[in-house]
Structure 1
Amino acid sequence: MVRALDLAGYPWKAVGSPAEPDVVAPDGGWAGAVIAADGDLEGALAACRALRHRELPLSPLLLLVGAGHLPALDPADDLFDDFCVVPFDPPELELRLAHLLRRAGQGGRPELVEYGSLVLNLETYQAAIAGRPLDLTYMEYELLKFLATHPGKVFTREALLSQVWGYEYYGGARTVDVHVRRLRAKLGEEHAALISTVRSVGYRFGQTRWAAGWPGCGGTARAGRSRAR
């Protein structure tokens, strides 16, 4: 849950009782709460009840439950707004939060760059592939971000040095090769081909329409603030 919230760019704070959110709340207050109920359903529902009935009700409330708790949930219960069964896929949790926040008129998701299963959070400098967080250095992140925002385009090593490292950087083309090799290793064998080598030219991220077969297209990169989540 913590990784999913971090990668989605949501600020959060862990609390142990319904009274604590007010103590640690940021200036603008909390947009909602995720209640872990997989261990103690009755205690979690009691926490939801307390949050609902306080002077400033906290909404929306998302309940995390175990599959064995489903028969005990009442579909007419207004103590929570939605639930998610654990263990969950991070994209499912993000989507449910996005839906709840949009419905409640709360803030949207952070600025993201997405290509297939790759997601880069431009606000928190975090990245994940197929839900798995990537441990990237600053320059590895900057290089991956630049490539992912220009899918299908081929860049020479000199162009990448200029665009990513800057005109003042005097390192050689080997710098680019080293960073690409490290990125491929961190992406993993299954996703390393996202960055392909174009012989005698440079590197390309993703597929071109020609590579995938005209008129089809390999993947779609999306950047910017999308639907609230």
Structure 2
Amino acid sequence: MAELLILTPASGGSVEVLPALGLLNHRVRVLPMEPSALVDAPDSDVVLLDARRDLVAARTTCRLLHATGLTVPLVLVLTEGGLTVVTHEWGAADLLLETASPAEVEARLRLVVEKSARGPVDDGPQEIAAGDLAIDAGGYTARLRGRPIDLTYKEFELLKYLVQHPGRVFTRAQLLQEVWGYDYYGGTRTVDVHVRRLRAKLGPEHEQLIGTVRNVGYRFDPPKEPRPVEGEEPGGATAEGKGTAGRTAPAR
């Protein structure tokens, strides 16, 4: 049994925010999503933040919670539309759709509590480089030729997962399970939409990094070699240096 704290502007209690909680054996307390309510907030194992209706207020509350030294996992409860807005900057340990089943809610809560109890662990390389693309898994950032890419939370998670498995083909169902969760109800069309958005953000020169395998799914196709940075020729010579190399001073 976990101690759960729900912050919500709704008046219908925990079952209105996340109906599955009514079928689970957790101790749940509900407080209004207001700064004053956080001062005397009871201790909890997980804070669930209701971000279903007002995403602006939810993001502000996330910042406030982290500014006051939140030490337990923060989980956002969202509608499907909210998934396209949330980024790593919100500081959420996980996301839950309001329609999530009791089994999914139980599994996700258990995992975030266990991870929090273990503390920081070494999950392997935090930075992954693939040609012009660099992924910082710890900082939830992606850069293309040194420039940051503006990604939503799920776009980043999908890109990171594909980059971590270069050349491996995943079906839409596999990606849905690994990135969205085994009990996500959005359907495999969600994967296609996110891949299309990722390709658009990567741009025409790099959209081919995410390859389509017809009638199967998608894979990350790493480039054979990185492209030179603007103004630099292969081998590290700048265009300016190349242009001036070998010139002799004019005769006086």
TM interval, shorter chain, is 0.3 to 0.5
* Bigger CA radius of gyration: 2
Taking structure 1 as the reference length, what is the TM-score of the superposition?
0.43
Taking structure 2 as the reference length, what is the TM-score of the superposition?
0.39
**More relative contact order in 1 or in 2 (CA 8 Å, sep 6+)?**
1
